[in-house]
Amino acid sequence: KKQVPHDKSLDNTIDLLKEGYLFIRNRVDKYQSDIFETHLLGQKVICMTGEESAKIFYNPELFYRKDATPKRVQKTLFGVGAIQSMDGEAHIHRKNLFMSLMTPSYQNQLAKLMMDKLLDSIKVWENKEQIILFDEVNEILCRVVCQWAGVPLKESEVKERAEDFSLMVDSFGAVGPKHWKGRRARIRTEEWIKGIIEDVRSGNIKVEEDSALYAMTFYRDIDKNQLDSHMAGIELINVLRPVVAISTFIVFEALALHEYPQSKDKLLSGDKDKLKMFVQEVRRYYPFTPLLGARVKKDFIWNECEFKEGMLVLLDVYGINHDPRIWNNPDKFCPERFRERNDNLFDFIPQGGSNPAKGHRCPGEGITIEIMKASLDFLVNKIEYDVPNQNLSYSMAKIPTLPESKFIISNIRRKS
């Protein structure tokens, strides 16, 4: 009988912090096994990679999400008790609300707003010696998503609000002072949005009925109750924060254009299919989501491994996006690979796997792709710029990661 490899060290928490995105992949290579057991944060954990593992992971008969995410991540990234840790009918009911805000028509509205605001920024950027792309795009996305969602945002508060959104994301893999920065950012943001929900309920703020703010404020859950204003705020933040987080992928787009100038030439026509292929390859190639966690619902055996009720199981998202059984030359950046490709629901999972309406897969992929396409078109076809000497390397140990310099560009001109 095949033995499931046990990673020998007493507790691998420190190694996870040191190896980051490559933690699971390194051990899968070492043990030549898609699945292994280890100890993390004082508990026995199963780690797994590969398409077949993704299929198992998204079987709701076998796994649940409540208590799968450490409290420290809920207190920074997700919000305590939000959709990410719900299960069953109540989850699907709330998921429908999110799905209804992510339709193609909303995707296009957001992409158009993004392009308009990027174009508006040119006149400011032209007069600056250089800009930090990440910081600029972060603020622009904050304006875009608040305007789209119906959330009032004063020009004087854009900078701080945008920074708070990115602190919540930036701190989720952190310990110590950075973790606390993320927690304070979440507390400030929750207070702000809760106040806005209350103003809508009391009629102090008028809001369009087809906006995300309206939808969250008046949503009734499976028991027909409105969410309290704090919870409604947390879920609205679950729409606002991830849109702002697309700035990470936009920086990776700029990095890819810089590192692979030959693929830039193919985008000069602005052809939508080519933009999309490039966007898909950025989402596959660069590290953003490292892994996902769920807990075992009832005892079962799979691949000769015993899954025990309540055990934490981690799925290797980064590794599956670089799995040589799924991708030829996975460590090569090659948008062309998406020309002929028919993805299934489990073999290309930068934002989770399976069907988003039925499980926890990200509902925001369409929005992410359209905003990334607009931003890519902008970088290639609307401006010219120089990339001065800087440290563009990104750490594979830091979760989430970003090029050190956050991508500085200089000498920005409108393309004629």
Q: Which residues here bind ligand HEM, judged by CB under 6 A?
A: 83-84, 95, 98, 238-239, 242-243, 245-246, 249, 288-289, 292, 350-352, 360-364, 367-368
Q: H or E stretch including 67?
A: none
In the bound state, the residue with its beta carbon closest to ligand HEM is: 364
Per the CB < 8 A criterion, the answer to whether 314 and 289 are in contact is no
Pick between residue 3 and residue 355 the one whose CB is nearest to ligand HEM: 355
- Residue 360 CB, nearest approach to ligand HEM (Å): 4
Q: Which backbone phi and psi does 366 adopt, to 5 degrees?
A: -60, -45
Smallest distance from ligand HEM to CB 350, Å: 6
* d(C-alpha 51, C-alpha 326), whole Å: 8
Please report where in the chains the tokens 């989402």 appear, as a residue: 283
Nearer to ligand HEM, 234 or 305 (CB): 234
Distance between CA atoms of 89 and 224, rounded to whole angstroms? 13
Q: In sequence order, which ranges of 127-176 are alpha helices (DSSP H)?
A: 133-149, 158-170
What angle (nearest 5°) sits at the alpha carbon of residue 206, between those of residues 232 and 209?
65
Residue 311 contacts residue 337 (beta carbons within 8 Å): no
CA-CA distance, 254 to 188, in Å (whole number)?
Answer: 31
Structure-token match 């158009």, residue found:
112
- 5 vs 363, beta carbon nearer ligand HEM: 363
**232 vs 243 by CB, closer to ligand HEM:** 243
CB atoms within 10 A of CB 92: 16
Residue 280 near residue 338, CB atoms below 8 Å: yes
Beta bridge partners of 314: 47, 293
The distance of closest approach from Cβ of residue 247 to ligand HEM in the complex, given in angstroms and rounded to an integer, is: 8
Q: Tell me whether residue 292 or residue 320 sits nearer to ligand HEM (CB atom).
A: 292
Q: CA angle at residue 117 from 114 to 122, to 5 degrees?
A: 125
User: Given the structure tokens 């075992």, which residue do they identify?
Assistant: 296
CB of 83 to ligand HEM, least distance (A): 4
CB of 302 to ligand HEM, least distance (A): 18
Tell me whether residue 174 or residue 412 sits nearer to ligand HEM (CB atom): 174
Nearer CB in complex with ligand HEM: 289/303? 289
What is the nearest approach in angstroms of ligand HEM to the Cβ of residue 8? 30
In the complex, what is the shortest distance from the CB of residue 160 to ligand HEM, in angstroms, rounded to a whole number?
A: 21
